[in-house]
Every structure is written in C-alpha cells, then in structure tokens.
C-alpha cells in the first residue's frame, strides 16, 4: 500500500500563486486586445455601442491588475493591523468594481436615451456601418469564452473558493453575452431597411446600448448589494449557515454540549462563526479548545477559510438571545 505524501502548505501556496499569476496575465492581455478592438471598430463603424464595449473591456483590464494585488494581500496571515485577516478586501474589490461598472452603465443610459429623444424630436443621425460589426462580435465572443474558461480552470485548481476569480469569470461571460447581442442586432439591422421599422436604422446602436444596459445592470447591482451587506456585518446567507451549523452540532453533541444560538458572518471567502454553547457536563478550557479545533477541521473541507469562536452561555427565554459569559476562539 502506498504512503500518501505529506501535505506541504508552502508548496501549495506557491503553486496557487503561479496559477493565479498566469490566469491574471492572460485575462489582462485579452481585455487590452478587446478594448483596442472595440474603440477601433467603433470609430470605423460609427457605432457608439462598440465604444461602450471597448470601455468596459478597458475597465476590466484595469480592475484585473487591482484584483491581482488584492488576491496577493488576502493570502497574507492576520496581524495586529488586520486581526481577522485581509479577506474583507475581496468584498471591497467586488463592491468597488460593481460600483464603477454601474457608473459606466448609467452614463451610457443617459447618453443614449438623450440621443433617442433627440432623434424623436427630429434630429437625424448618420447610420452606422453594419458590415464590420458581426465579424468583430464573433471574435470578441471567442476571446470572452477563452477568458472565462481560463478563469474557471484557475478557480477549480485553487480550491473553488476564490471570490475574485468567480467575479472575473462571471464578468467574462457577461461581456461575451454583450458582444454576441451587439453582433446579432447589427446583423439584423440592415434587414429592417425594407420594413416599416426602417426609420429606426440610424439609431440602432443607441437602441442596442439601452437594451444591453437594462439587461446587465442587475448583476452589478446584486454584487454591490451583497458586498455592502457583508461589509456592514450582515449575517451569512442560509446556504452558508445551514451546513456549518449541521457539522458544528454533530461535533458538539458528541461531547455533551448543546448549541444554544449562533452569529455567522461571511466576508469574501472567509467565514467567522460565534457559537453560543451550553455544556451539559463539567468542561475545562482545554475541552472547549479541542471542540473548537475539531469543528474547524471538519468544516475546512467545505469552507477553506473558517474561524470558530465558542462562547459559553445560559439558554435564555424563547425569543431572547443567550447570555454569554466566556469565549474560546
């Protein structure tokens, strides 16, 4: 029977860093190519929709550099300045990225709704050059799918817990969907010239921009809302709390300790849980410490970064929080 090799955390950390460094480098280069292509094709085709596509890609390239730095910071151990670690930077990054994207979307909506209102008021615009856009969109979709696949591969190889890679993978998919929508709209637009909708052909790009903005605004809003909730100390979602409490209760029950109440928080990929417990038999601090370590060990297969604090409490009346008198964490 073979002997399993000893786990080397330092080697694992170096391997993870190498995977992330390569992934961020590929994503940055792809986004730079997409940004340049979007601005260039926008100028050649006289389409503002592609200018928005190029600006979003430029934003993605810039935020990837920030995301790489944040990912380096969050893997540092906790210290006197950050006692709970740097994990909040992940959430801060996701929230800030969403806020910037929302600003671009709102600006694009104001600009192009104004253009449509001017068109409705009698102002005439020169129609865009439609032939350049479908080949451009196809190339952008392929680049976005490549980038999303790279992010997914890096995400799985680093334990499927990196919030930054998860956000970037979603961003690549959304960006690809935008490019596909633009290409499809501009492929169909020339066909409208022989229909009753032909007067709308000159502002097809503005219609596409407004529609795309309305379709994608939900995702950054949801990300920003989740980031604000986490940073403000809101409770973790039920999908996080339920498995944690189930595993913790199993460990506690085996040691004659009752789980009275809990407070569970999530920031980025890090989870902190304060478990209020009531021993049914006499325990010493060493027993509680062993119990806490056992719970953390059992949870790490599901949550790579988890901190458990046990606080002894007397069960309170129904509907009231317990009265904690001591803690181990």
Q: Could you give the CA distance from residue 96 to residue 20 in angstroms, rounded to a whole number? A: 21
Q: Do residue 183 and residue 109 come from a single domain?
A: yes
Contacts for 30 with CB less than 8 Å, ≥ 6 apart:
143, 146, 147
- Decide if pLDDT at 15 tops 50: yes
pLDDT at 325 over 50: no
Q: What is the chain's mean pLDDT, rounded?
A: 85
SS3 316: coil
The answer to whether residue 2 is domain-embedded is no
Q: Contact, 101 vs 90, CB < 8 A? A: no
Identify the pLDDT of residue 185.
77
Higher pLDDT, 132 or 65: 65
Residues 32 and 82 in one domain: yes
Q: Which residue is associated with the tokens 């498995």? A: 243
Domain of residue 293 covers 238-328
Crossing angle (nearest 10°) for helices 163-188 and 88-120: 20
Q: Does residue 310 form part of some domain?
A: yes
Are the C-beta atoms of residues 289 and 273 closer than 8 Å to each other?
no
Residue-wise pLDDT for 247-291, tens only, equals: 999 999 988 899 999 999 998 888 999 999 999 888 888 989 999
Residue 300: pLDDT band by 50, 70, 90 thresholds?
A: confident
pLDDT band (50, 70, 90) for residue 4: very low
For CA atoms 15, 16, 19, 20, the dihedral sign is: negative
Please indicate, yes or no, whether residues 310 and 172 belong to a single structural domain of this protein. Answer: no
Tens digits of per-residue pLDDT, 42-101? 889 887 778 878 888 898 899 899 988 988 888 888 888 887 788 889 889 888 888 888
Same domain membership, residue 149 and residue 260: no
Flag whether 101 is in a domain: yes
Question: Alpha helices, DSSP H only, in the chain?
Answer: 9-45, 48-74, 88-120, 133-157, 163-188, 204-216, 218-231, 238-253, 285-299
| 268 and 201 in a common domain | no
Asked which of 231, 252, 274 is the last residue of a domain, the reply is 231
CB atoms within 10 A of CB 189: 21
- pLDDT confidence bin for 229, thresholds 50/70/90: very high
Same domain, 314 and 214: no
**Pair 242, 177 in one domain:** no
Residues 219 and 254 in one domain: no
Domain match, 100 and 22 both? yes
Is 146 part of a structural domain of the chain? yes
Domain end position, chosen among 198, 231, 264: 231
The domain boundary, picked from 176, 210, 231, lies at 231
pLDDT band at 23 (very low <50, low <70, confident <90, very high): very high
**DSSP H or E run through 278:** strand 270-279
- The answer to whether position 4 is within a domain reads no
The verdict on 215 and 265 lying in the same domain is no
314 within domain boundaries: yes
Residue entry with tokens 């996701």: 94
Q: Could you tell me which residue, 284 or 321, shows the higher pLDDT?
A: 284
CATH number at residue 180: 1.20.1510.10
CATH code of 298's domain: 3.30.70.1350
- Per-residue exposure over 70-84, b if at least 16 CB sit within 10 Å of its own CB, e if not: bbeebbeeeeeeeee
* Angular region, 276: left φ>0, alpha ψ -120 to 50, beta rest: beta
Cα–Cα distance for residue pair 42/131, rounded to 1 Å:
12
What's the rounded Cα separation, in Å, for the pair 22 and 24? 6
Three-state SS at 262: strand
Statement to judge: residues 207 and 251 lie in one domain: no
The DSSP letter of residue 196 is T
SS3 of residue 119 by DSSP: helix
Give the model's pLDDT for residue 55: 84
Nearest to 129 by CA among 205, 65, 61, 200: 205
Establish if 1 belongs to a structural domain. no
Total domains in the chain come to 2
Looking at the fold, whether 112 and 196 belong to one and the same domain comes out as yes
* 110: its two tokens: 């104001």
């Amino acid at each position: 029977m073979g002997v399993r090799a000893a786990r080397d955390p330092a080697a694992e950390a170096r391997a993870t860093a190498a995977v992330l460094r390569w992934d961020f480098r590929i994503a940055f280069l792809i986004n730079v190519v997409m940004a340049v292509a979007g601005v260039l094709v926008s100028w050649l085709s006289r389409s503002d929709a592609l200018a928005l596509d190029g600006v979003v890609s430029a934003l993605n390239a810039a935020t990837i550099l920030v995301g790489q730095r944040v990912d380096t910071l969050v893997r540092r151990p906790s210290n006197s300045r950050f006692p709970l670690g740097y994990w909040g930077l992940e959430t801060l990054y996701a929230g800030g990225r969403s806020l910037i994207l929302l600003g671009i979307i709102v600006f694009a909506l104001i600009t192009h709704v104004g253009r449509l209102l001017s068109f409705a008021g009698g102002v005439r615009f020169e129609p865009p050059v439609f032939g350049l856009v479908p080949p451009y969109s196809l190339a952008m979709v392929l680049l976005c799918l490549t980038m999303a696949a790279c992010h997914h591969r890096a995400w799985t190889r680093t334990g499927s817990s990196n919030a930054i890679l998860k956000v970037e993978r979603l961003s690549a998919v959304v960006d690809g969907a935008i490019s596909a929508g633009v290409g499809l709209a501009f492929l169909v637009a020339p066909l409208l010239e022989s229909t009753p909708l032909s007067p709308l052909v000159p502002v097809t790009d503005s219609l596409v921009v407004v529609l795309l903005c309305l379709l994608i605004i939900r995702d950054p809003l949801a990300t920003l809302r989740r980031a604000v909730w986490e940073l403000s100390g809101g409770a973790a979602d039920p999908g996080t709390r339920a498995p944690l409490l189930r595993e913790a209760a199993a460990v506690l029950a085996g040691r004659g300790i009752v789980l009275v109440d809990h407070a569970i928080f999530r920031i980025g990929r890090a989870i902190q849980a304060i478990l209020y417990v009531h021993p049914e038999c006499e325990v010493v601090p060493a027993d509680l410490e062993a119990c806490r370590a056992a719970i953390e060990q059992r949870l790490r297969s599901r949550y790579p970064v988890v901190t458990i604090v046990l606080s002894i409490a007397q069960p309170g009346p129904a509907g009231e929080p317990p009265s904690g008198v001591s803690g181990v964490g």
